[in-house]
Amino acid sequence: MRLLRYGEAGKEKPGLLDAGDTLRDLSGHVADIDGGSISPDGLKKLAAIDPASLPAVSGNPRLGCPVGNIGKIICVGLNYSDHAAETGMQVPAEPIIFMKATTAINGPNDTVVIPRHSKKTDWEVELGIVIGKKAQYVEEKDALDYVAGYVLVNDISEREFQIERHGQWVKGKSADTFAPIGPWLVTRDEVADPQNLKMWLDVNGKRCQDGSTTTMVYGVKHLVSYISQFMTLMPGDVIPTGTPPGVGAGMKPPMFLKPGDVMKLGIEGLGEQHQDVVGYKG
C-alpha cells in the first residue's frame, strides 16, 4: 500500500493511493496514518479494504508528511561509503546516530525556509525507515518484522551549524522545514529489497545526487537492530538512513542553497518531492 496524509497543514486526512494513482480517502476507517494504524494489525485491516470502495479525492490537494504524530526522527550519518569518501571522512566503525527535531517535519512539496544567519544550507536525499511496532533489543535477523514501511526523506542540513558551531549535529539538522517526508509511506511488502533502490536529487534541474542504497554501509536490518540497543523505537518513529554522494558541501567549490532554488528528488518506488527554497523573513 501507498499510505498518505493530505490537506491543510495541521489538518491532514488519512488516504491511500490506489493502483491507478487515484487518491482515496481513508478517514471513514482510521483517524490518521500514525503509530496505531501502521501497526501490524492496523496494516492488516487497511490491506483488507477494497480501494475502489473508498471515496476518490478530487483536485490536487497538498500532501503532508505521510506519518502523523512522529515521536522521534533518528538519523544515521556517513552511512554511504561513497559519501564518506567525498567528505574526506572515514567510514565509521559503528553507525553514527543523531536526532532531528520533529518541529522540522514538512510536507514533501512544501516550501523550504533557509534559517536566519545560515550560510551553508545543504540537501540530502535519504531512504527513511518507518517503525511499525515497539522495538527493544531487536536481533538483526528479526529486524524487518518491526518495519512498517519506507519513505523518501530530504535530510536538509545547515553545515556551519552542524560542523563549525560546536556540539552535536542536531543543531544543523533541525530548523523548521528541514525534514520533508513523503509523498507516501510504502508498506514493507511492496519494497522487495531496500538495499537496491535508485535515488537522486536535482537542484535547479541539475543532477547533484545520483546513487543507490546498494552503497549503504549499514543496511536497514542492522540499523533497526543497532538503534534498538540504545533506545526504544516506537510505532511511527522514522529513521533516515544516510545519503549518497553529491551534497553541496562535497562539491568543488562547495555549493549551497539560496532563495529561489528548486529541489527535486526521488527514490525508486517511493515517489518524488519538489521544494521551492525561500529565505527566512521572521
Work out whether strand 74-77 and strand 96-99 pair parallel, antiparallel, or are unpaired.
antiparallel
Predicted local distance difference test score (pLDDT) of residue 167: 87
CB 244 within 8 A of CB 155: no
Which of 178, 158, 157, 149 minimizes the C-alpha distance to 267?
A: 149
Using alpha carbons only, how large is the chain's radius of gyration in Å? Answer: 18
Residue 66 resides in a domain = no
C-alpha cell at 92: 565509521
What pLDDT is stored for residue 82 in this prediction? 78
> Do residues 42 and 156 share a domain?
no
* Residue whose C-alpha is closest to residue 146's, from 239, 29, 14: 239
pLDDT given at position 110: 98
**Residue 155 and residue 92 in one domain:** yes
Do 211 and 106 reside in the same domain of the chain? yes
Residue 261 located in a structural domain:
yes
Under 8 Å CB-to-CB from 98, ≥6 apart: which residues? 74, 75, 77, 168, 169, 170, 173
Domain that includes residue 153, residue range: 74-279
Does residue 24 lie within any of the structural domains? yes
Q: Residues 113, 20: one domain? A: no
Strands 23-25 and 74-77: unpaired
Q: Domain total for the chain? A: 2
Pair type for strands 105-106 and 179-180: parallel
Q: Where are the alpha helices (DSSP H) in 129-282?
A: 159, 170-173, 220-227
- Composition of the chain by helix, strand, coil, percent to 5: 20, 30, 50
- Cα(80)–Cα(254) distance, integer angstroms: 19
Residues 104 and 231 in one domain: yes
For residue 84, what pLDDT is reported? Answer: 74
| pLDDT tens for each residue of the chain, 282 residues long | 999 999 999 999 999 999 999 999 999 999 999 999 999 999 999 999 999 999 999 999 999 999 999 999 999 999 998 777 777 777 889 999 999 999 999 999 999 999 999 999 999 999 999 999 999 999 999 999 999 999 999 999 999 999 899 889 999 999 999 999 999 999 999 999 999 999 999 999 999 999 999 999 999 999 999 999 999 999 999 999 999 999 999 999 999 999 999 999 999 999 999 999 999 997
CA separation (Å) from 128 to 63, 74, 212?
17, 10, 14
Q: Domain check: are 10 and 90 in the same one?
A: no
128 and 214 co-located in one domain = yes
Q: Is residue 10 part of a domain?
A: yes
Looking at the fold, whether 13 and 83 belong to one and the same domain comes out as no
The answer as to whether 30 is a domain residue is yes
CATH number at residue 242: 3.90.850.10
3-class state of residue 179 by DSSP: strand
